[in-house]
Amino acid sequence: MSNPLLDFSALPRFDDIRPEHVAPAIRQLIDENRALIAELVADPAPPTWANFVTPMTEEGERLGRAWGIVGHLHSVMDVPEWREAYNAMLPEVSSFYAEVGQNLELFEKYRLLHDSAEYDMLSPARQRIIDHELRDFRLSGAELPDADKPRFKEIQEEQSALAAKFSENLLDATNAHAEWIEDEAELAGLPDDAIAAARAAAERDGKPGWKFTLQMPAYLPVMQYADNRELRARMYRAYATRASEQGRPELDNGPLIGRILALRAEEAKMLGYRNFAEVSLVPKMAETPEEVLAFLRELATKAKPFAERDLAELQAFARTELDLDPLEPWDIGYASEKLRQARYAFSDQEVKQYFPEPKVLEGLFGVIRTLYGVDIVADTAPLWDPGAHFFRIDRDGATLGHFYLDLHARETKRGGAWMDSARSRYVGPRGTQTPVAYLVCNFPGPVGGKPPTFTHDDVLTLFHECGHGLHHLLTQVDDLAVSGIHGVEWDAVELPSQFMENFCWEWDVLCGMTSHVDTGAPLPRELFDKMIAAKNFQSGMQTVRQLEFSMFDLRLHSEVDASAGPVPIERVMELLDEVRREVAVMIPPPWHRFPHSFSHIFAGGYGAGYYSYKWAEVLSADAFSAFEEAGAGKGTLLDRETGERFWREILAVGGSRPALESFRAFRGREPRVDALLRHNGMVSA
């Protein structure tokens, strides 16, 4: 217990855990897992849930939790010591999991249990766990000839290392660029809080003037508000070429992309599939790459006319009102903001003043309380950063779970927003273990003694990640492998997150979560009505952009031949150009290097699965329409009865049954695409 990573008695001891604890703790846990596996496979007794699955679950959970803490700290505190500690153990952890996945004796134990009389007496959730285990063993190469297994294991280990390196290169390349402004006139158009944050950044470096980085809280205001077109162009180019051959050679992700694709193709071939996309779809709702591509193309056909109209309007406005002709990619955000202000008479910056962080959190928690009858209470626990927070979820006096909230961008924190599991719900021999989640974002921090304020997009992101968190925390499944987000098909896991975003467009929700940062006044109804009028502003362009990413990902993993070794980055860019010609309306410059920063598919588990966002958006929009129906004429969509049903049929069941079954149980029918098109304003009159 002297090593805090080996203390599973309570919450992670973030105040005690140090990089030097990682190697001894993880090695000990791997050794203990290996010893248990050796004991279990040597046991001549027929495998049962009690004598086989339970001990495997409990021992595996300890390693998973400890390594999860290490991975979390590597993400939110990517300093050299933590990076080194994580990377030093990554090959050993990857090797262990690859070794377990190929263990034929373990595979045989699960197969014997599946074929036994006990299997028929198990709950559907436990049957599903065994079915998933057998599937995952096959995908891990358990049935490969012994001569092929070492190579398959090498592939898994190298992929893990390359994914980590991809993320690190992207973070380092993002941090490597800064724009220094010394003439205040060059800041024209920028909001006061963005200028103050840039001044504070320069002061931290002991320099005069203003420092703008490629971190989102600094980058986005420049692209949206800076009148200085040259500054926008420089920032755009630096952001668009991050981690590519146009920067520092050691941070170029191009060779990593080629190698990752080759390894994935080799893995697919060894498993008997035509391509990696087929492997990726095995545990998902969608069945074939062709089915997904048809779905994406159907949406593209419906969305592209709206996108073309959006772009034509923007180009005409930029030409006549802003003297921007031609409209360049670094003008899009700026011109769009000017058009939005001209058309709807408000700006994102004006809205932002009404969303101070404390009030937003109060409103978010209020929605959750109303829908699900739970209390969210500030709690105490060791934290990795003084800006992080910790909360408890209670219902009827019982604690359902806890979550950490880390909202502010830092140079040592990877970009984006995510939810991850710190601990999962499990009922075992030692009683009930409640779930714990990490909710992480990259919003601006406080400046000048004022609380941070969020854009409406930030609020949507927070609700999105909280939706994932609720899926994990409100589970009522007792078996670890299918509780919370575990065992949920990847293309359904975004349903609860995207569902939550819809509440950010409801007046009765927003009026309870706004308070002007200076005056305390709530969001005016007139401003809200303008936001609603502008809700689907450029939704056509936004939709085809997501479809471009999804189609590029799917075709990259199903059509590009990677069997001869690393794929040249030129071939990757050629495919992206093909996809853009089919679905995009605004084509970036030839030097743009989007794939080099597409960490979702090269470092985030979304390889051949980025389409999941759109697939799940259909489910989430349709699910939300149940609340629209229940709330019709009542003045609020926060309907408790429908909320309880959503909890019972979607959130509570986790991965214990197929996602489509859960959707049908909630909605009473198959999902339909109509609600998504309607919510996005893409229904022709």
Bridge-partner residues for 393, per DSSP? 376, 401
Element (H, E) at 243: none
> What is the number of residues in the chain?
685
HEC letters along 459-494: HHHHHHHHHHHHHHHCCCCCCHHHCCCCCCCCCCCC
Among 30, 558, 534, smallest CA distance to 279 is for 558
Q: Characterize the bridge pairing of strands 398-408 and 436-443.
A: parallel
Largest CA distance in the chain: 82
Query: Which residue in the list 59, 267, 278, 465 is annotated as catalytic?
Result: 465
Among 395, 394, 392, smallest CA distance to 405 is for 392
Task: Give yes or no for a contact between 471 and 654, defined as CB atoms under 8 angstroms apart.
Answer: yes
Q: Is 465 a catalytic residue?
A: yes
Q: How far is 77 from 74, CA to CA, in rounded Å?
A: 5
Bridge-partner residues for 375, per DSSP? 394
Element (H, E) at 390: strand 389-395
Q: How far is 65 from 57, CA to CA, in rounded Å?
A: 12
Task: Give yes or no for a contact between 650 and 470, defined as CB atoms under 8 angstroms apart.
Answer: no
Characterize 314-347 residue by residue with b for buried, 16 or more Cβ atoms within 10 angstroms of its Cβ, and e for exposed.
bbebbeeebebeebbbbbbbbbbbbbbbeebebe
Q: Characterize the bridge pairing of strands 431-433 and 426-428.
A: antiparallel
Structure tokens given for 537: 């502003």
- Which residue in the block uniquely carries the two structure tokens 């660029």? 177
22-42 and 80-101 are packed helices; what angle lies between their axes, rounded to 10 degrees? 10
Classify the phi-psi angles of 7: left when phi > 0, otherwise alpha if psi is within -120 to 50, otherwise beta.
beta
Q: How far is 454 from 460, CA to CA, in rounded Å?
A: 10
Among 500, 497, 502, smallest CA distance to 420 is for 497
Which string of DSSP letters, residue by residue, matches 270-301?
HHT-SSHHHHHHTTSS---HHHHHHHHHHHHH
Q: Which residues are catalytic?
A: 465
